[in-house]
């Protein structure tokens, strides 16, 4: 027995064929118009999942690019400001050398000091540079002005108030770039090497390590001169002697006087009541010669001394200590000194090398240049030489910081280029998954149109029912 399809079944088959081929045509048209192979998730669930994963990675790359590029302006501005700072330090150095010229008088040196002060203000502005609301050289504490002026024991000083933390930006998972240098490492770097004294008094470092930063004034005080006097010659002992230690005093009937191995001086007439005689170190003793009877005379003089690091507490010395400890109650600094070479009283500039901030160095140089007329030239030169050494160290710190910022800028450029290349690669992978092959789409579109037309034509013939077909 033959099976005859019903009219309803034929109609359903024709409808299903037309709908199926219409859907294929519509999908081909969507791919052609959008350029995408995957228009909706149902088109390719696996491909959709892969594309979404790739797009997440692209989003992460774009975030890294944005944050990396966002850090560039601050790095570049900090670099420019440090370059300006290097120029300022070069000008200050030139002025300090100019101030050491022996031909300058006190007024000239004061004028040089005033110029240095102006440059110091410019350097302080650089150290407190802001980018928007953030300070560039304050570490991570960017809302705090890094260098602030305070008065300590009547002396105005500049202190660093930021922190030593680094700002970082991620360039990928597990990779980062340090973006900043702190004001402390650039303008106030601490790398203590040794304690150095000027060549004023003959003091020397002791055997034990010292504790302190910046500069201190070690005061060697002359506490009186003793010695057996005769031939009408007397010690004035009015507190004006500078001799430390033991020296011979020789007076000749020929009218000369000599202290230790110092210069042979001619005794003036009339005989003075206060006459300075100098030894080979430049130390002097005041003697009263008004009673001298014109005879030869020789004796041994001893200058007593005591030391202080704060100008308040003085420690007597017998000039035999090789590791005498001195403490400053003001700053807490502790130094150990060898007193065996002491020969003259005076204020000894004590430098904890590698610890003074650039502002301490500059202000110290200004103070030295403003010393009154009559200041010992050799002492001034010694102080300024010490300041110059620290200024050069500070300039080196600044240049190191500038190099770090330059390296950070270069790394930002390299990282950005790498991320952009990676994004292009990821875009290509997404395109491989999502984008349509236009040649294939055109072929599919043509095939779908032809198939639909064929289905419609076939359906039309199947739907032509007659009594003869029915029988």
Q: Give the residue among 128, 74, 5 at the shortest CA–CA distance from 405.
A: 74
Element at 53 (helix H, strand E) = helix 45-99
pTM for the full model? 0.77
pLDDT band with cut points at 50, 70 and 90 for residue 10: low
Q: What pLDDT, on the 0 to 100 scale, is given for residue 156?
A: 84
Beta-strand relationship, 315-317 and 324-327:
unpaired
State yes or no: pLDDT of 110 exceeds 60.
Answer: yes
Q: What pLDDT, on the 0 to 100 scale, is given for residue 6?
A: 60
pLDDT band with cut points at 50, 70 and 90 for residue 162: very high
What's the number of CA atoms in the CB half-sphere (13 Å) around residue 361?
A: 29
Q: What pLDDT, on the 0 to 100 scale, is given for residue 456?
A: 63
Q: What pLDDT, on the 0 to 100 scale, is given for residue 172?
A: 78
Positive or negative, the CA dihedral 181, 186, 190, 193 is positive
pLDDT in tens, 315-374: 999 999 999 999 998 889 999 999 999 999 999 999 999 899 999 999 999 999 998 877
Q: Which residue has the higher pLDDT, 28 or 1?
A: 28
Q: Mean pLDDT, the chain, as a whole number? A: 85
Mean pLDDT of 194-203: 90
Mean pLDDT of 50-62: 76
pLDDT band with cut points at 50, 70 and 90 for residue 44: low
Burial class (CB in 10 A: 0-12, 13-18, 19+), 451: middle
State yes or no: pLDDT of 220 exceeds 80.
Answer: yes
Ranges in the chain annotated CATH 1.20.1330.10: 53-191+390-421
Q: Give the residue among 193, 192, 242 at the shortest CA–CA distance from 219.
A: 242
Q: What pLDDT, on the 0 to 100 scale, is given for residue 23?
A: 63
Mean pLDDT of 384-405: 93
Q: Give the residue among 182, 173, 136 at the shortest CA–CA distance from 422.
A: 173
> 389's torsion region: left (phi>0), alpha (psi -120 to 50) or beta?
alpha
The token pair at 393 is 């160290």
- Give, to the nearest 10 degrees, the angle between helix 45-99 and helix 377-434: 170
pLDDT band with cut points at 50, 70 and 90 for residue 276: very high
Mean pLDDT of 263-270: 93
DSSP code, position 209: P
Burial class (CB in 10 A: 0-12, 13-18, 19+), 156: exposed
pLDDT in tens, 280-314: 999 999 999 999 999 999 999 999 999 999 989 99
Q: Which residue has the higher pLDDT, 463 or 172?
A: 172
Q: What pLDDT, on the 0 to 100 scale, is given for residue 54?
A: 75
Q: What pLDDT, on the 0 to 100 scale, is given for residue 71?
A: 86
User: Which is the CATH superfamily of the domain at 53-191+390-421?
Assistant: f41 fragment of flagellin, N-terminal domain (1.20.1330.10)
């Amino acid at each position: 027995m033959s099976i005859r399809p019903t009219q309803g079944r034929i109609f359903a088959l024709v409808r299903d064929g037309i709908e199926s081929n219409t859907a294929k045509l519509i999908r081909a048209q969507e791919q052609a118009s959008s350029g995408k192979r995957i228009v909706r998730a149902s088109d390719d669930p696996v491909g959709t999942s892969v594309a979404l994963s790739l797009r997440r990675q692209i989003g992460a790359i774009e975030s890294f690019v944005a944050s990396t590029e966002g850090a560039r302006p601050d790095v570049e501005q900090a670099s420019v400001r440090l370059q300006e700072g290097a120029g300022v330090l070069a000008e200050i150095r030139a002025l300090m050398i100019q101030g050491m010229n022996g031909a300058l008088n006190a007024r000239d040196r004061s004028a040089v000091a005033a110029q240095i002060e102006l440059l110091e203000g410019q350097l302080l502005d650089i150290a407190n540079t802001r980018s928007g609301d953030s300070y560039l050289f304050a570490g991570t504490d960017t809302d705090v002005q890094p260098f602030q002026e305070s008065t300590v024991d009547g002396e105005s000083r500049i202190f660093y108030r930021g922190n030593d933390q680094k700002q970082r930006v991620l360039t990928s998972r597990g990779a980062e770039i340090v973006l900043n240098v702190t004001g402390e490492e650039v303008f106030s770097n601490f790398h203590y090497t040794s304690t150095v004294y000027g060549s004023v008094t003959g003091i020397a470092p002791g055997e034990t390590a010292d504790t302190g930063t910046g500069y201190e004034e070690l005061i060697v005080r002359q506490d009186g001169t003793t010695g057996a006097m005769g031939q009408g010659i007397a010690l004035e002992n009015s507190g004006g002697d500078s001799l430390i230690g033991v020296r011979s005093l020789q007076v000749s009937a020929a009218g000369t006087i000599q202290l230790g191995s110092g210069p042979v001086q001619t005794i003036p007439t009339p005989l003075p009541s206060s006459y300075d005689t100098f030894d080979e170190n430049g130390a002097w003793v005041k003697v009263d010669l008004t009673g001298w009877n014109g005879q030869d005379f020789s004796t041994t003089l001893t200058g007593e001394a005591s030391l202080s690091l704060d100008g308040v507490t003085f420690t007597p010395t017998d000039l035999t200590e090789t590791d005498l400890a001195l403490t400053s109650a003001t700053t807490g600094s502790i130094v150990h000194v060898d007193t065996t070479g002491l020969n003259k009283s005076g204020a000894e500039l004590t430098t904890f090398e590698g610890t003074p901030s650039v502002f301490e160095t500059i202000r110290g140089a200004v103070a030295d240049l403003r010393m009154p007329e009559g200041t010992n030239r050799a002492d001034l030169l010694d102080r300024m030489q010490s300041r110059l050494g620290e200024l050069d160290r500070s300039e080196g710190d600044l240049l190191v910081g500038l190099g770090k910022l330059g390296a950070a800028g270069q790394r930002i450029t390299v990282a950005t280029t790498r991320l952009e290349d990676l994004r292009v690669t990821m875009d290509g992978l997404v395109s491989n998954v999502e984008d349509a092959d236009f040649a294939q789409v055109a072929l599919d579109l043509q095939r779908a149109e032809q198939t639909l037309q064929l289905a419609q034509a076939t359906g039309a013939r199947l739907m032509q029912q007659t009594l003869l077909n029915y029988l």
